[in-house]
Chain A
């Protein structure tokens, strides 16, 4: 490898390929082939036909689950934005110590495993949890069932995915030149109009990045909806898992997986054309 470095000249074209080869071969065998396997299973299990796709795309149950997944992902994205924007603003525009504290908190949340955060919400929303106790304290005796509902899974997903949104918006906000805001003010922009016409457009790239990331992750979310959601309102990933785990229906599971993959790719391709995919996770 050493001599590859010295040949910084781009004359020899074998080196990059030699360095890339191990990874390329590995990913071909253990990433591409399993994916192709899913595609093949979707049209061959139980027999060679498109019947799985027909059922996935026309069956009432599957349509409902896809629609539910879409609406949930959209709702979670909007909530993450509503939650993330003010916090990113606070991070970008408060004293270094406060900003540091919030940044630490968001980073902590980001690095804490999905499962741990899901479990925390089970404690918070459980029948013996603090939220129910609070409701009873203010006199609501007929407390609603919070856990294992659409409410609990949505809330937890917003909490889990919010750091992606916050980090993306924050990284844009902190780069905004204060001179731009000052000059807008000197030209008479105040309050809402300053925000609407100057600040918001400047932060739009962060909003776009964060929203795409949250939406795409949410579309394929398995753990939290399965553990916290209502069994009657499954999301697509949960249903795929169900098909594989309970029914060993690989054909149906694979067909659904391919549709999910297709939708994800369409969204990311549109994003890639406009902004470049490398910026999404960078």
Chain B
């Protein structure tokens, strides 16, 4: 069983990895359509991406929408998470469940709802409409991350500050927030990525005016599979790589543990 699992695992590793790395050589291809391996290499499609407003404007729209979504999500989620993690009250379990609801509804269902509802409000095809919709979809993800962090919070630290005479506000600013900062950052990052990558709702409600990058990519793939998509895919791929690798590097730099300690992954 062991050798079988091993070989199967190696095959699956290739299956998982291949589609991730193939876009990198594609993005330097000189072919005008999907062709692999590429007949030649150049930077033409990178130039095409960085000079074409048809691509840059959706990119900018996505950045603006995801930033605003993150801000709005955090403003709503942070107080709510404190309420749900730190207080006991009647109806709490229902409220907990309601927080997760947007994850349970397929995005296509929400897309139909927003298309009609935001249309009635005159917000369809606007940045504001997409931000309002995306915030609902980002709330549960931000909540899951933040509540996990808040549950692991050692409240004795706050009690110590209070007993030493710090006011509740001071305690919150100088004790609670700094300790919670990593959780807040990761939670915000999840909200940002959720909005930045969200495709289905954006396809239906962003229109020409607030066209997001995923919507533009979707349309482009559907129509002609513009090789510029390979460029964007490569850039996104490296962004993800940096995002995942950065915490390791930062913690490695901070701790500078010289001896190769047994990592927790090898503990079994």
Q: Is B173 an interface residue (CB 8 A)?
A: yes
**Contact call B221/A119, Cβ cutoff below 8 A:** yes
**Contact call B22/A120, Cβ cutoff below 8 A:** yes
**Contact call A121/B19, Cβ cutoff below 8 A:** yes
B binding-site residues for A, Cβ under 8 Å: 1, 4-6, 8-10, 12-13, 15-20, 22-23, 26, 31, 33-37, 75-77, 79-80, 82-84, 86-89, 92, 95-98, 100-118, 132-133, 135-136, 139-140, 144, 148, 155, 158, 162, 167-173, 176, 193, 197, 199-200, 203-204, 214, 217-218, 221-222, 225, 229-230, 232-233, 236-237, 240-241, 243-244, 262-263, 265-266, 268
C-alpha gap A3/B233 in the complex (Å): 47
Would you give the shortest CB distance from B230 to chain A, in whole angstroms? 7
**Contact call B229/A119, Cβ cutoff below 8 A:** yes
C-alpha gap A31/B35 in the complex (Å): 43
Would you give the shortest CB distance from A202 to chain B, in whole angstroms? 13
Would you give the shortest CB distance from A262 to chain B, in whole angstroms? 10
Would you give the shortest CB distance from B199 to chain A, in whole angstroms? 5
Q: Is A67 an interface residue (CB 8 A)?
A: no
C-alpha gap A21/B96 in the complex (Å): 14
- Give every chain B residue within 8 A of A4 (Cβ-Cβ): 82
Which residue in B12, B112, B176 is a CB contact (below 8 Å) of A86? B12
**Contact call B16/A3, Cβ cutoff below 8 A:** no
Which residue in A20, A84, A86, A223 is a CB contact (below 8 Å) of B218? A223
A binding-site residues for B, Cβ under 8 Å: 1-6, 8, 10, 13, 15-20, 22-24, 26-27, 30-31, 33-35, 37-38, 41, 83-84, 86-87, 89-93, 95-96, 99-100, 102-109, 111-124, 126, 128-130, 133, 159, 162-163, 174, 176, 178, 191-192, 194-195, 216, 219-220, 222-223, 226-227, 237, 240-241, 244-245, 250, 253-254, 257-258, 260-261, 264-265, 268, 272, 277-278, 281-282
Knowing A1-B172, A2-B169, A112-B20 touch, does A22 contact B109 (C-beta < 8 A)?
Answer: no
- Give every chain B residue within 8 A of A116 (Cβ-Cβ): 23, 232-233, 236-237
Interface on chain B toward A: helix, strand, loop, or mixed SS? helix
**Contact call B133/A237, Cβ cutoff below 8 A:** no
When C-beta atoms are compared, the residue in chain A nearest to B23 turns out to be A120
When C-beta atoms are compared, the residue in chain A nearest to B158 turns out to be A5
Knowing A116-B236, A123-B22, A220-B109 touch, does A87 contact B16 (C-beta < 8 A)?
Answer: yes
**Contact call A277/B100, Cβ cutoff below 8 A:** yes
**Contact call B171/A30, Cβ cutoff below 8 A:** no
**Contact call A41/B116, Cβ cutoff below 8 A:** yes
C-alpha gap A226/B214 in the complex (Å): 14
**Contact call A10/B87, Cβ cutoff below 8 A:** yes
- Give every chain B residue within 8 A of A108 (Cβ-Cβ): 20, 237, 240-241, 244
Question: Most chain-B Cβ atoms within 10 A of its Cβ — which of A120, A159, A219?
Answer: A120
